[in-house]
Amino acid sequence: MPTKSNHRGRISRRTRWFAVLGGITLLASACSASGEPSRGTSTVGAPERSWDQIVEEAQGQTVSLWMWGGDTQGNAYVDDVLAPAAEKLGVTLNRVPITDTKDAINRILAEKQAGRTDGSVDLVWVNGDNFRTGQQAGIWLCDWAQDLPSFAFTADNDPLLANDFGTPVNGCESPWHKAQFTFVYDAARVSDPPRTMSDLLDWIRLNPGRFTYPAPPDFTGSVFVREALYASAGGYANVPAEFSQKAYDKVTPRLWDILDDIRESLWRSGQTYPKDTNQLDDLFASGAVDFTMTYGPATLTKRVADGTFPITTTVLILDEGTIGNASFLAIPTTSGNAAGAQVVANLALSPAQQVTKADPGVWGQFTALDVDALPADAALAFAALPTSPVVPRYDVLSRNANPELAAAWVPALDEGWRRNVLAPG
């Protein structure tokens, strides 16, 4: 039947043309949408409104909070304490767990490229190089955080809250908690715990296979490398906070020498490294290594209580102190619920939420507020907090706290570590 087959042939040819046309249209629209954001660095300010107007506008909004989901206590706090409190204020809080904050940044970037104004991310738990990357791409809503009523309870010009890894905060993110990098060991297996970072490096050499750290660019592994950098330079004062190639070339050769030197003494002879802090915690829990480390010592209390970590788990206090920072909640410009997100950020920073969150049985995160300047009842609530059997108080942990380096150091050190320590191994 030649006629019929001809007919079909024509349809299929025409359809093919439609397909090609459709493809071109789709491409063109994709390109035109994505051509727009290359303007880049300009920051978008939140519109000027009174707090009452913001609360009014927030009514009925649903706020998606994207946060690292690897901490069960943190997840429980947001779901069981923060979300119900937000509900009372008329805002539905929806927690979106992610494996890495970079996932949220990528999602926002993609949505910005697509020109969306009702994006799926309304609030992100963020700090450091992720915050800087977002600033670089102009994805954060700015100039709002300092106007939150709760912000009045923070200390004036608190250096941890004014600059995030050297990047000026400029009201583009609202403080959530403070953190202190902490080494943790099992006292049953480490009889003579080191007192300084260089003691620790000696301990590693003397006890082959009993220590390791997550591979940067993992957040925790990256801090470990910065701790080692401070130790190799003889203290943080000898490392310029601002990144420059000259400073990098001056201070890193000694760091790579040291890390390369201990490599053979690491778990599995440094042939591989844990991917992230969870894998390191697993190694510690199963007794494969004697140390773990965390930027959120809050998690330790529960892990010891539920038997994941041995009862002899002990926090290591270094004489020269460790790196401390603050973490924040940021709102992307692609959010369609910015008012609701501000209400949640304000609630999260309120003394009532901060004191609940600081309870080691709830989450145990250190407050971003200035406890000494709080109203009497709130200050009393902080004073009455139960102490953790594992984690010392923040003022003990943060004694001699070292500042973070500027965020530009972070990718440079991560990449340098890959080239000089990981790849040759």
Partner 1 sequence: MRRPLLLLLPAVIPVAVVLGATLMLGLAQSLGLVPVVGDAKFDASAYRAVIASGDLWPALYVSLAIATAATAIALVVGLATALAVRATRIGGRVLATLAASTIPIPHIIGAAAIGLLLADSGWLPRLLGADDGSWPQLVAGPWWGAVVLEYAWKESAFIALVVVTSMAADAEELSDTAAVLGAGRRARLRHIVLPLAAPALITAGAISFIYALGSFEVPWLLGRAYPEPLPVLAYRLFTSTDLAVRPQALAVAMITVGLCLAVGVAALGLLRRRSVLT
Of 19-27, 69-77, 84-92, 183-191: span binding partner 1 (CB under 8 A): 19-27
Is 106 an interacting residue with respect to partner 1 (CB under 8 A)?
A: yes
Q: At closest approach, how far in Å is the CB of 377 from partner 1?
A: 41
Shortest CB 103 distance to partner 1, Å = 7
Least distance to partner 1 from the beta carbon of 263, Å? 12
User: In this chain, which of 49, 102, 116, 254 binds partner 1, going by CB under 8 A?
Assistant: 102
Indicate whether 96 belongs to the interface with partner 1 (CB under 8 A).
no
Specify the residue, 238 or 269, whose C-beta has the smaller distance to partner 1.
269
Question: Residue 109, interface with partner 1 (CB under 8 A)?
Answer: yes
**Does position 114 bind partner 1 by CB under 8 A?**
no
Indicate the length of the chain as a whole number.
425
Q: Smallest distance, Å, CB 127 to partner 1?
A: 12
Closer CB to partner 1, 210 or 302, in the complex:
210
Q: Which residue of 50, 192, 286, 376 would you call a contact of partner 1, by CB under 8 A?
A: 286
Query: Using an 8 Å Cβ cutoff, are 355 and 385 in contact?
Result: yes
- Cβ-contact 180, 396 below 8 angstroms: no
Under the binding rule (CB under 8 A), the answer on residue 14 touching partner 1 is no
Number of residues this chain uses to bind partner 1 (CB under 8 A): 51
- Given the complex with partner 1, which of 238 and 272 has the nearer CB atom? 272
User: Least distance to partner 1 from the beta carbon of 224, Å?
Assistant: 14
x-or-dash string of contact with partner 1, 37-66, rule CB under 8 A: xx-xx-------------------------
Q: Which one of 57, 158, 282, 370 is in contact with partner 1 (CB under 8 A)?
A: 282
User: Do residues 44 and 37 touch, judged by C-beta distance below 8 A?
Assistant: no
State which residue, 5 or 191, has the beta carbon closest to partner 1. Answer: 5
Judged by CB, which is closer to partner 1: 8, or 195? 8
Nearer to partner 1, 352 or 422 (CB): 422
In the complex, least distance from residue 420 CB atom to partner 1, rounded to whole angstroms: 12
Q: Which residues contact 217 (CB under 8 A, 6 or more apart)?
A: 411, 414
Contacting partner 1 (CB under 8 A), which of 73, 127, 130, 346?
Answer: 130
Question: How many angstroms separate the CA atoms of 371 and 235, rounded?
Answer: 29
Question: Under the criterion CB under 8 A, does residue 288 sit at the interface with partner 1?
Answer: yes
Q: Is 283 in the site for partner 1 (CB under 8 A)?
A: yes
User: Which residues, at least 6 apart from 353, have a Cβ–Cβ distance to it below 8 Å?
Assistant: 81, 82, 85, 347
**What SS3 string covers the chain?**
CHHHHHHHHHHHHHHHHHHHHHHHHHHHHHHHHHHHHHHCCCCEECCCCCHHHHHHHHCCCEEEEEEECCCHHHHHHHHHHHHHHHHHCCCEEEEEEECCHHHHHHHHHHHHHCCCCCCCCCEEEECHHHHHHHHHHCCEEECCHHHCHHHHHCCCCCHHHHEECCEECCCCEEEEEEEECEEEEECCCCCCCCCCHHHHHHHHHHCCCCCCCCCCCCHHHHHHHHHHHHHHCCCHHHCCCCCCHHHHHHHHHHHHHHHHHHHCCCHHHHCCCCCCHHHHHHHHHCCCCCEEEECCCHHHHHHHHCCCCCCCEEEECCCCCCEEEEEEEECECCCCCHHHHHHHHHHHHCHHHHHHHHCCCCCCCEECCCHHHCCHHHHHHHHCCCCCCCCCCHHHHCCCCECCCCCCHHHHHHHHHHHHHHCCC
32 touches partner 1 by CB under 8 A: no
Closest to partner 1 by CB, 244 or 272: 272
Among positions 203-232, residues that touch partner 1 (CB under 8 A) are 215, 217
Residue 288 beta carbon to partner 1: minimum distance, rounded to whole angstroms: 6
Residues near partner 1 (CB under 8 A): 5, 8-9, 11-12, 15, 18-19, 22-23, 26-27, 30-31, 34-35, 37-38, 40-41, 100, 102-103, 105-106, 109, 113, 129-130, 132-133, 136-137, 215, 217, 268, 271-273, 275, 282-283, 286, 288, 407, 410-411, 418, 422-423, 425
